[in-house]
Amino acid sequence: MVELKKKEAECLEAPQEHGNATSPGCKRTWDKLLCWPEADAGEILALPCPNILFHFMKEPAGMIKRNCTKKGWSDPFPPYHVACPVEDEIPLEEQSYFATIKIIYTVGYSVSITSLIIAVTVLIAFRRLRCPRNYIHVQLFFTFILKAVAIFIKDAVLFQEEGIDHCSFSTTECKISVVFCHYFMMTNFMWLLVEALYLNCLLLSSLSHGRRYFWWLVLFGWGFPTLFTLIWILTKFYFEDTACWDINQGSPYWWLIKGPIIISVGVNFVLFINIIRILLKKLDPRQINFNNSSQYRRLSRSTLLLIPLFGTHYIVFNFLPEYTSLGVRLYLELCIGSFQGFIVAVLYCFLNQEVQTEIGRRWHGKRYGLVPVWRRTRWTVPSSSGVKMTTSVC
């Protein structure tokens, strides 16, 4: 669609370069597929099939002719569907592949939504688990839930009927569904970045600084994607209002969505390397107290599990063209990506020692023999290192 819009603009702008001169024959015209130049009455022009159809044609390209008469241009002969036959049926193998992909990511997002809702309920229901660190986890959970719901809604709107022509299908509902899908995808990446930033704050600064950064991180996590999504909506509405705003190949405005995501992934990767560097330094046996070594080991294991959550596996594909390695991209982003929310819920909630302790305390009804999870626990490395470490803010 973007390529056709460019061709149309070039075709309609060409006559203006020659002033207001008119020809007694047929004027230059655009028939939605080809640009027909000026011609004299009685002249017959022949043009090859549009380049955009070459990828879908099942036979060698033919020629389309039009006759310039005194009344104007005649209809194309032979018709486009005869001269440029297009393969309009998807092979059975591809149909089976896409159907399998849809089943897998539907199951994945359903499992993720269910597990994330349980995780949010647990972190909010227990008063002793309410703290900035867990509040950030809850915000991240919400972005995964909303992204999954937005994908389900977009699928329901765009694929409500099998016979829909997606090249011309354009409704307000489908555009809104695409906008929300892009918005929640960007917020998801931003909150993954917030998780990394907050973890760095806990490793490098004191508890009071961590609390002070909390509201700035919340503003960044929701405000930054909102700003860029609004700019993208305005540019699409005024300069590229085609189809359902879901065709991004060759569109310069897509970088308003893709650019911040790539930057966030790159920053996440740098932060992850920095976290590993800090942990390796703190895990030095010469700088660690015996009582604190187990806490460092738990923190290091949790951090190593954050590799897929920080989105580093998107770096390679985000720097490649949109339709490069489409099969692998679909499998990673839809199939594996759909279970990402479930993995987040498991790591940040179900395997969280504080959550397990609180649930066990409530389940057994025992209020003795347990470490009070509401108490702030701080532990530091020896004074020679000069670094203070906070493991819990609850």
pLDDT in tens, 237-271: 988 887 788 877 778 888 999 889 888 888 888 88
Residue 324 reports pLDDT greater than 50: yes
8 Å CB contact between 195 and 136: yes
For residue 84, the SS3 value is: coil
Residue 367 reports pLDDT greater than 60: no
Sign of the Cα torsion 247, 248, 249, 250 reads positive
What is residue 26's DSSP assignment? Answer: B
Q: What are the angstrom distances between the C-alpha of 192 and each of 27, 102, 171, 213, 280?
A: 56, 25, 32, 16, 22
- Residue 200's pLDDT is 79
pTM greater than the 0.75 cutoff:
no
Which amino acid, one-letter code, is at 4?
L
Lowest mean pLDDT among 207-211, 312-316, 356-360, 378-382: 378-382
Confidence of residue 148 (pLDDT cuts 50, 70, 90): very high
The two structure tokens encoding residue 244: 């359902």
Averaged pLDDT for residues 12-41: 71
The rounded Cα 340 to chain-centroid distance in angstroms is 13
Confidence of residue 108 (pLDDT cuts 50, 70, 90): very high
Lowest mean pLDDT among 11-25, 80-94, 166-180: 11-25
Q: Give pLDDT tens digits for 49-79.
A: 877 666 565 666 678 888 888 888 888 888 8
8 Å CB contact between 108 and 342: yes
